[in-house]
């Protein structure tokens, strides 16, 4: 059973379409490879694959991932896919827009919190996913599902915030509204956590991470104010619901005692210096035993 990183970058991707600064500049000038927006797939050729979050880059991600290509000589005919299910951990555009790429009367299942499914069903544009073929299943936290054999998925609540486009109607200071979740992936031999947004590492989350083998953790920003420092925007990482990597309450400091086999940053913003292997920030995370994800990274779980 493999975990494939389909996209390692945070919303906007690397480079961001309208940004000549930060790490995007390194990509425009061919000093760093481009990276698509955060998504992972879990599965094997025998079982098919589960995609966790449908990024706006999903069509490109499928094309660059041979494991997700349709098969020749398939019993279902020429129209087929190894993608069995999509699990949505929240309703951000970054995580749901890619569903629009999965049209064309193809059967697969969507799992996600009721609030996330509601957002999809309230937007008529998602009606391209014909309910005759695409079934939706509410997935509440602590509930366990097995969309493919040999692996279990469980959503869990993470401190976060409402999606940007619902902030006005819900109010920003509304705290955790069930919009932000991490996902625990269990096989017979390992436990993997994928947490792309995290505003706080509380006791409960720490305990969950202590018993995991592999961790993909919110690597949006290295420093809380790096976006303003670089002239990329007015918001801090915390304002966007993301703990800065380097903070005293951040993942390096708070998770140093965890005996993970692998720990990697994921959902890395185009402002984040850890993309650049020559940077002090990159050296800092490597010295602390962390690595970064990149598009196409595959590891066994």
The residues of the shown chain that bind a second copy, judged by CB under 8 A, are 12-13, 15-22, 24-25, 28, 34, 56-60, 62-63, 69-72, 74, 77-81, 93, 96-97, 100-106, 119, 122-128, 164-166, 168, 230-233
Pairing, β 83-87 against β 291-292: unpaired
Our CB check for a second copy shows the closer of 7 and 160 to be 7
Our CB check for a second copy shows the closer of 81 and 180 to be 81
Our CB check for a second copy shows the closer of 28 and 172 to be 28
What CA–CA distance (Å, rounded) separates 176 from 178?
Answer: 6
Q: What angle do CA 12, 94, 266 make, to 5 degrees?
A: 75
195 DSSP β-pair partners: 217
Our CB check for a second copy shows the closer of 124 and 278 to be 124
Closest CA to 271 of 198, 234, 222, 216: 222
Our CB check for a second copy shows the closer of 101 and 262 to be 101
Our CB check for a second copy shows the closer of 191 and 242 to be 242
**Would you call 98 exposed, middle or buried from its count of C-beta atoms within 10 A (0-12, 13-18, 19+)?**
buried
Taking the alpha carbons at both ends of the chain, their separation in whole angstroms is 6
Kindly state the smallest distance separating residue 244's Cβ from a second copy, in Å. Answer: 20
What CA–CA distance (Å, rounded) separates 40 from 11?
Answer: 14
What CA–CA distance (Å, rounded) separates 160 from 279?
Answer: 28
Kindly state the smallest distance separating residue 43's Cβ from a second copy, in Å. Answer: 16
Q: In what order do the strands lie in the sheet with 2-7?
A: 134-138, 108-112, 83-87, 48-52, 39-44, 2-7, 298-300
Question: From the CB of residue 236, how many other CB atoms can be counted at a distance below 10 Å?
Answer: 16
Kindly state the smallest distance separating residue 296's Cβ from a second copy, in Å. Answer: 16
Kindly state the smallest distance separating residue 22's Cβ from a second copy, in Å. Answer: 7
Kindly state the smallest distance separating residue 82's Cβ from a second copy, in Å. Answer: 10
Kindly state the smallest distance separating residue 30's Cβ from a second copy, in Å. Answer: 11
């Amino acid at each position: 059973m493999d975990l494939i990183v389909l996209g390692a970058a945070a919303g906007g991707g690397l480079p961001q379409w309208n940004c000549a600064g930060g790490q995007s500049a390194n990509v425009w000038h061919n000093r760093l490879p481009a990276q698509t927006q955060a998504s992972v797939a879990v599965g094997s050729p025998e079982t098919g694959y589960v995609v966790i979050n449908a990024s706006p880059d999903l069509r490109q991600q499928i094309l660059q991932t041979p494991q997700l290509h349709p098969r020749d000589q398939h019993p279902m005919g020429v129209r087929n896919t190894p993608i069995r299910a999509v699990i949505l951990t929240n309703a951000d555009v970054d995580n749901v827009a890619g569903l629009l790429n999965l049209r064309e009367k193809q059967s697969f299942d969507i799992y996600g919190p009721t609030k996330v499914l509601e957002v999809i069903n309230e937007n008529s544009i998602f009606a391209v996913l014909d309910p005759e073929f695409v079934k939706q299943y509410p997935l509440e936290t602590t509930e366990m599902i097995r969309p493919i054999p040999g692996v279990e998925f469980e959503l869990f609540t993470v401190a976060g915030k409402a999606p940007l486009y619902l902030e006005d109607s819900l109010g920003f200071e509304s705290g955790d509204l069930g919009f932000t979740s991490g996902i625990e992936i269990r096989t017979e031999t390992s436990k993997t956590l994928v947490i792309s947004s995290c505003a706080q590492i509380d006791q409960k989350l720490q305990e969950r991470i202590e018993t995991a083998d592999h961790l993909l953790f919110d690597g949006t920003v290295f420093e809380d104010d790096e976006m303003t420092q670089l002239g990329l925007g007015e918001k801090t990482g915390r304002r966007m619901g993301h703990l800065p990597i380097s903070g005293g309450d951040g993942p390096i400091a708070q998770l140093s005692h965890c005996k993970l086999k692998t720990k990697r940053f994921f959902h890395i913003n185009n402002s984040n210096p850890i993309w650049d292997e020559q940077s002090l920030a990159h050296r800092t995370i490597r010295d602390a035993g962390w690595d970064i994800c990149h598009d196409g990274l595959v590891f066994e779980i």
